[in-house]
A and B are shown apart, each in its own frame.
Chain A
Amino acid sequence: MSGREAILGKVRRALGVDAEDGARGDTVEKRLGRPPEGIIPERGQVADARRVKSFCAEAEAVHATVKKVKDHSAVPAAVAAYLRSKNLPAEIRMGADRRLAAMPWTKQKALTVRPGPSDGDDLTGVSHAYAGIAETGTVVLLSGTDNPTTINFLPEHHIVVVEAKDIAGNLETVISKVRRKYGRGEMPRTLNMITGPSRSGDIEQKLLLGAHGPRSLHLIVVEG
């Protein structure tokens, strides 16, 4: 008997159920087909105007830094300014995201943009978020050529561009959006939810930023 049959058999015997019981199957199918939403906390249901504000506040509370800009064209300058403020070389790693590609990077004469996934030698990576979550100050990123997952973790500093209109109140709203994009039950290889820069409390429970992932997380919120 295979491990599979043995385990499923034990589970069914322990629960006292029959594999052929149609009613149980219907219950499961129904839940998978129409997931109940559950409890959405009030702070995850804030109205439009306050949503961006609470997103920024929550992100800053977990040691991310936030910069708001008026429109897409202002992003490259904001990136360059951040690098200067941190005394970082004017070089970024970036994926093929069309929204990022359409921005006026060439106007930042000193800035070098290296395309593709991170090879581990990049000091700074730039990604475009799929969504933001106001409830927790989280950014959501999807894997693919547009925003390779390695950029989220290998560089020392991670800059994430998020559009104000993509900032949702709660994770459940983002899940619905992912479902519409990929189809029911389908997912990209990796969906990252990132809430602040990497940290560890493993030595004497002292909070230290910059464990294995980026030491800093800078969010650029595009309002236009």
Chain B
Amino acid sequence: MEIKSPTFKQNSHDALANEQLQKALGNVRSGFIDKRRKAADRLPEFDALRDEAKRIKDHALAHLDLYLEAYERKVTASGGHVHWAETAEDARRIVLDICRASGARTVTKGKSMITEEIALNDHLEKNGIRAVETDLGEYIIQLRGEHPSHIIAPAVHLNKEQVESDFRRVHDHLPVARDLSEPESLLNEARMVLRKEYVTADVGITGANFLVAETGSSIIVTNEGNGDLTQILPKVHVVVASIEKIVPTLEDASQILRVLARSATGQDMSVYTTVSTGPRRKSDPDGPQEYHVVLLDNGRSSMLGTEFQDMLRCIRCGACMNHCPVYHAVGGHAYGWVYPGPMGAVLTPSLIGVDKSGHLPNASTFCGRCESVCPMRIPLPKMMRHWREREFERRLNPFSQRFGLKFWAFFARRPGLYKLGTGLTTPLLSLLGGRKKRLRRLPFASGWTRFRDLPAPESRTFMQQWRDRETQKQEAHR
């Protein structure tokens, strides 16, 4: 997938001016936050479970090599195959080889961000294999030639009228006069069209929410049932998952499941939680005849042992973007690659380089809502700060920004000068603010004042006010 993160600023401008997108983003603001809050409130142990979930992942990451080996042994013992892919290219090649070996012409896909990351669909199409997305949201955006704008609600940037016009364009074998004005009728049409795909597909590809070392199982969590139809009907089931999806045992998966759905959609439990282990057994009347797991690294191992290791705890619930004021304003596509929102702002530089995605960790107000709702307690703002530091160290940000920071740092290290400076400018700005106490224009700050006024400061600096307060307190004591 083409990387558009370098033009984040332009992408954001376009997004802010896009009326349809702004209308659709209202659904994120109104829905997710409330639902998560209610689900969390209904479970008194929720925060304790978050701590436990964090501990489990930290333990798994600290012993990742051993759990990967244990997991592989169990997959093999249950008749499945494990393939190790260092890079996205390796993973694409492995999946294509599996498809070719089974003579596949059509593959169905369950929702999977990892296959977006490795741009699997394009690769299969280029090699003559049709890939059909079966999650309703993914299906819609595939028809539009788009990528997900949200990791759990891929079509959240669209309104139903847009979906209707896509269905009319693509499903041209259906009667023109049919009514598609309601979401129900759109869903029914997708259900009918996709039913045929499930049964004709030769290979089904899914991601995994967890890989369980104890049993060699992959677990997927879904609401629609498409992931299950994808993994039980075709004769070959391929799981593509990154190495940090490993948890030691089924109990560990269970602990994390209790925070996953609540954080994502506000459900206590998703509709379908499915544990798959190997191919169908001799006596099984259904299920795939082959089971393959592609274990993808693609940069994750180089996050281990660094200040970005905590990011590998991420379970892709989407809570951080659901609560992010920047995501609310510009949506997911502006981020320019696979992973949007705060988790994307941290993960994207790790995977494609901070030189291409430096705007992302800067696109934050550091309000801290993402960290406060993250079920895995990932310190997202702190890690965005680490990326800003690296960007500065590698001289990747523009001159004006670097100069500004150095200018400020010069004064910040010299408290006397700093006080003198603020002592002079604060009353001046206060004076310029006038009766309304707002500044409509300010040199070097047009980026702010073009869109809104800058509140003028009080006439005295914080330090001066603080000193007065302390003095008053002492006098009151006497």
Judge whether B280 and A189 touch: CB under 8 Å.
Answer: yes
Residues of A within 8 A of B354 (CB): none
Residues of B within 8 A of A185 (CB): 74, 214-216
Give 1 or 0 for each of A114-148: 1 = CB within 8 Å of chain B CB.
00110010000000000000011010000111001
Residues of B within 8 A of A192 (CB): 228, 272-275
Judge whether B184 and A208 touch: CB under 8 Å.
Answer: yes
Judge whether A120 and B62 touch: CB under 8 Å.
Answer: no
B95 to chain A, nearest CB (A): 13
Most buried by A among B48, B72, B268, B303: B268
Task: Tell whether A38 pairs with B254 under 8 Å between CB atoms, given A153-B229, A190-B232.
Answer: yes
Size band of the A side of the interface? 35 or more
B297, CB-defined interface residue at 8 Å: yes
Residues of A within 8 A of B4 (CB): none
CA distance A189 to B237 in the complex (A): 12
Give 1 or 0 for each of B69-90: 1 = CB within 8 Å of chain A CB.
1101010001000011110001
Judge whether A186 and B184 touch: CB under 8 Å.
Answer: no
Residues of A within 8 A of B243 (CB): 7, 11
Give 1 or 0 for each of A147-188: 1 = CB within 8 Å of chain B CB.
011101110000000000000001110010010000001111
Judge whether A4 and B84 touch: CB under 8 Å.
Answer: yes
CA distance A10 to B302 in the complex (A): 7
Judge whether B287 and A193 touch: CB under 8 Å.
Answer: no
A31, CB-defined interface residue at 8 Å: yes
CA distance A19 to B65 in the complex (A): 8
B377 to chain A, nearest CB (A): 15
Q: Tell me the dominant secondary structure on chain B's binding face.
A: mixed
Judge whether A211 and B31 touch: CB under 8 Å.
Answer: no
Residues of A within 8 A of B85 (CB): 3
Give 1 or 0 for each of A197-224: 1 = CB within 8 Å of chain B CB.
1111111111010111110000000000
B52, CB-defined interface residue at 8 Å: yes
Give 1 or 0 for each of B173-213: 1 = CB within 8 Å of chain A CB.
00000000001101100010011000100000000000001
Judge whether A203 and B48 touch: CB under 8 Å.
Answer: no
Judge whether A14 and B305 touch: CB under 8 Å.
Answer: yes
Task: Tell whether A42 pairs with B287 under 8 Å between CB atoms, given A31-B248, A197-B271.
Answer: no
B224 to chain A, nearest CB (A): 4
B160, CB-defined interface residue at 8 Å: yes
Task: Tell whether A35 pairs with B269 under 8 Å between CB atoms, given A11-B301, A211-B187.
Answer: no
Q: Which of B255-294 contact A (CB under 8 A)?
A: 255, 257-258, 265, 267-281, 283-287
B336, CB-defined interface residue at 8 Å: no
Judge whether B65 and A211 touch: CB under 8 Å.
Answer: no
A217's nearest neighbour on chain B, judged by CB, is B271
A147's nearest neighbour on chain B, judged by CB, is B285
Residues of A within 8 A of B228 (CB): 149, 152-153, 192, 213
Judge whether B280 and A8 touch: CB under 8 Å.
Answer: no
B63's nearest neighbour on chain A, judged by CB, is A28
Residues of B within 8 A of A175 (CB): 250-251, 254
Judge whether B272 and A194 touch: CB under 8 Å.
Answer: yes
CA distance A201 to B232 in the complex (A): 23
Contact of A15 among B223, B226, B265, B305 (CB under 8 A): B305
- Pick from B117-125, B150-158, B355-363, B418-426 the stretch touching chain A: B150-158
Q: Which of A1-49 contact B (CB under 8 A)?
A: 2-4, 6-8, 10-12, 14-17, 19, 24-25, 27-28, 31-32, 35-39, 41-43
B87's nearest neighbour on chain A, judged by CB, is A3
Judge whether A194 and B287 touch: CB under 8 Å.
Answer: no
Most buried by B among A6, A136, A149, A208: A149
Task: Tell whether A189 pairs with B287 under 8 Å between CB atoms, given A28-B67, A144-B281, A208-B183.
Answer: yes
B115, CB-defined interface residue at 8 Å: no
Residues of A within 8 A of B371 (CB): none
Judge whether B248 and A195 touch: CB under 8 Å.
Answer: no
B247 to chain A, nearest CB (A): 10
Task: Tell whether A212 pairs with B229 under 8 Å between CB atoms, given A42-B45, A202-B155, A205-B31.
Answer: yes
Task: Tell whether A35 pairs with B225 under 8 Å between CB atoms, given A199-B271, A212-B194.
Answer: no
- Pick from B7-15, B133-141, B384-392, B409-417 the stretch touching chain A: B133-141
Contact of B270 among A3, A6, A195 (CB under 8 A): A195
B394 to chain A, nearest CB (A): 21
A191, CB-defined interface residue at 8 Å: yes
Residues of B within 8 A of A208 (CB): 183-184, 187
Most buried by B among A3, A152, A170: A3
A192's nearest neighbour on chain B, judged by CB, is B274
CA distance A148 to B445 in the complex (A): 66
CA distance A2 to B63 in the complex (A): 21
Residues of A within 8 A of B303 (CB): 14
Judge whether B254 and A213 touch: CB under 8 Å.
Answer: no
Judge whether B52 and A38 touch: CB under 8 Å.
Answer: yes
Residues of B within 8 A of A150 (CB): 232-233, 286
Give 1 or 0 for each of A82-120: 1 = CB within 8 Å of chain B CB.
000000000000010000000000000000000011001
Known: A35-B250, A37-B251. 17 other contacts (CB 8 A): A3-B84, A14-B305, A24-B66, A31-B248, A38-B255, A120-B199, A144-B284, A145-B285, A178-B250, A185-B216, A192-B228, A193-B275, A194-B272, A203-B186, A204-B159, A211-B191, A214-B225
Q: List residues of A whose CB falls within 8 A of some B CB.
A: 2-4, 6-8, 10-12, 14-17, 19, 24-25, 27-28, 31-32, 35-39, 41-43, 58, 62, 95, 116-117, 120, 135-136, 138, 143-145, 148-150, 152-154, 170-172, 175, 178, 185-206, 208, 210-214
Interface pairs (26), CB distance under 8 Å: A3-B84, A3-B90, A11-B68, A32-B70, A37-B251, A38-B251, A39-B48, A41-B258, A143-B284, A149-B228, A153-B225, A171-B254, A186-B215, A187-B275, A188-B281, A190-B276, A191-B275, A193-B272, A195-B268, A195-B273, A198-B271, A199-B224, A200-B137, A204-B24, A211-B223, A212-B195
**Top 9 A-B residue pairs of the complex, sorted by shortest distance between their CB atoms:** A213-B225, A211-B224, A3-B84, A202-B137, A14-B304, A35-B249, A10-B301, A187-B277, A203-B183
Q: List residues of B whose CB falls within 8 A of some A CB.
A: 24, 27-28, 31-32, 43-45, 48-49, 52, 56, 59, 62-70, 72, 74, 78, 83-86, 90, 134-137, 140, 153-156, 158-160, 163, 183-184, 186-187, 191, 194-195, 199, 213-217, 223-226, 228-229, 232-233, 243, 248-252, 254-255, 257-258, 265, 267-281, 283-287, 295, 297, 301-306
